Amino acid sequence: MSGILTLVFAVTCGGVVANLYYSQPLLASIAAEFQVSTTKAGLLVTITQIGYASGLAFLVPLGDALDRRRLTICLCTLTAVALLVAAWSPSYHLLCIALVIVGLSSCAVQVLVPFAASLAPDATRGRVVGTVMSGLLLGILLARTVSGFIAEFLGWRAVYVFAFCAMTVLIALLGKLLPSDPHRPHTPYLQLLRSTGRMALEDPVLRERSLYGALAFAAFSLLWTGLTFVLNAPPYSFSESRIGLFGLAGAAGAFSASGAGRLADSRRSRFATGLFGAAIIVSYGLIWLGGHSLAAMIAGVVILDIGVQGLHITNQGVIYRGKADARSRVTTVYLTSYFIGGALGSTLASASYAWGGWPAVSACGAAIGGLILLRWLPWWKFDGRMPPAS
């Protein structure tokens, strides 16, 4: 796993996963064009994540049986077609269908992450995954910035035309540079699904890390879905491009990925879990103040993304130890939970903002962080020793 190949994986992951998040700064514009409520517009984020979770559950396990190079290119091609449909959708409902397919096929990212983990040696797997995830996280966060700027000058549909062109370039890049996948014994599809279910039921560490991931991503999606509504309204009244700039503030989370990977390699993952969980709670205190203070909002966004992304990398460093022949199925269990949490967070953002405004959104986020720490605290041994490293 050379440095150049690691970079290829990182760029590809970032470019593909960005498709899931282009819609977030566009919600107010889409709601206005199709004459739907902000709550209904917010569902576009939710259904994209539901599509992604479905891809994780039913397509990613194929990575343990099929050629991951070919599987990735096929999924990316489907994404490109769906993005083109989204760009020209004449109705809200057709846009919904297109974005579900975008979410479903963008699970190609989670074929690539365990592929990278399989190519890396044990001693540096956490760092390699951390670097690849840095690219993925930058794609998640900078998608909002790119989307906001394009929509400001060319309209929201142009964002999906841009995304289609970017995917076309990535497909060509993958065809040229992605390495061949080592041959593995063929496993029937239903057997893959059954074994994935057994992992979810029988592996307590995987279940625990899946819970942490679901809660963390719920906190993340809660902010980034609700943020569009609060920044579009007084006292801010920001345009799409200015809302998109908040992706740059959140990009700080990507720089925590490498450090979190090193903590996982050094078997200090339990310590890292508590640290990043506490960061989520602290961040939402600042985010609450951000309803009337731009500086507090920016600080809260930075700290939240460090907490969420750091915890995500820590989780992956733990679940990929061993299990060399089952990493795609491990990814399926973990990330299906992760994006179900994200879909619930997006739904909660729309509902809580409609009910109680920004304070209600902030209170929900702090409560989610509190649940992470409640699950983590019993593992502490209050005798001066570090907790277990699982």
Nearest CA among 181, 188, 191 for reference residue 67 = 181
Is the per-residue pLDDT at 217 higher than 80?
yes
Average pLDDT value over all residues in the chain: 84
Segments forming the whole domain that contains residue 306 = 3-379
Q: Per the domain annotation, does 387 fall within a domain?
A: no
Q: Contact, 273 vs 212, CB < 8 A?
A: yes
d(C-alpha 137, C-alpha 224), whole Å: 14
Distances (CA, A) of 258 to 126, 194, 311, 318: 8, 34, 12, 14
d(C-alpha 222, C-alpha 254), whole Å: 19
What's the domain count of the chain? 1
Q: Per the domain annotation, does 120 fall within a domain?
A: yes
Q: 322: pLDDT confidence band, cut at 50, 70 and 90?
A: low
Please give the DSSP secondary-structure letter assigned to residue 35.
T
d(C-alpha 190, C-alpha 182), whole Å: 22
Least confident of 140-149, 211-220, 362-371: 140-149
Nearest CA among 318, 128, 111 for reference residue 207 = 318
Least confident of 116-130, 170-184, 301-315, 372-386: 372-386
Least confident of 44-58, 231-245, 246-260: 246-260
Question: Cβ contacts of residue 307 below 8 Å, gap of 6+?
Answer: 216, 253, 276, 277, 278, 279, 280, 282, 283, 369
Is the per-residue pLDDT at 224 higher than 60?
yes
Please tell me the predicted confidence (pLDDT) of residue 259. 62
Please tell me the predicted confidence (pLDDT) of residue 384. 41
Higher-pLDDT residue of 183, 332: 332
DSSP-H helix ranges across the chain: 3-17, 27-34, 38-58, 68-87, 92-105, 109-119, 125-154, 156-177, 189-202, 204-232, 240-244, 246-250, 256-265, 269-289, 294-319, 327-376
Q: Per the domain annotation, does 386 fall within a domain?
A: no
Q: Average pLDDT of 34-44?
A: 84
Nearest CA among 306, 247, 264, 316 for reference residue 281 = 306
Least confident of 229-233, 242-246, 344-348, 352-356: 242-246
Higher-pLDDT residue of 91, 270: 91
The pair of structure tokens assigned to 154 is 């060319």
Residues of the chain with pLDDT > 70: what percent?
87
- What angle, rounded to 10 degrees, do the helices at 327-376 and 294-319 form? 130
**Using one digit for the tens of pLDDT, what is the confidence trace for 152-190?**
889 999 999 999 999 999 999 888 888 877 666 677 888
376: left (phi over 0), alpha (psi -120 to 50) or beta: alpha
Distances (CA, A) of 116 to 80, 112, 127, 181: 23, 6, 11, 11
Please tell me the predicted confidence (pLDDT) of residue 219. 94
Sign (positive or negative) of CA dihedral 51, 52, 57, 63: positive
Is the per-residue pLDDT at 387 higher than 60?
no
**Using one digit for the tens of pLDDT, what is the confidence trace for 84-129?**
999 999 999 999 999 999 999 999 998 888 788 777 776 666 677 7
Q: Contact, 303 vs 341, CB < 8 A?
A: no
Please give the DSSP secondary-structure letter assigned to residue 322.
S
d(C-alpha 263, C-alpha 244), whole Å: 31
Is the per-residue pLDDT at 365 higher than 80?
yes
Q: Per the domain annotation, does 73 fall within a domain?
A: yes
Higher-pLDDT residue of 257, 355: 355
d(C-alpha 55, C-alpha 74), whole Å: 13
Higher-pLDDT residue of 328, 226: 226
Please state, as a whole number, how many other Cβ atoms lie within 10 Å of the Cβ of residue 17. Answer: 23
Q: Average pLDDT of 51-67?
A: 84
113: domain CATH number is 1.20.1250.20
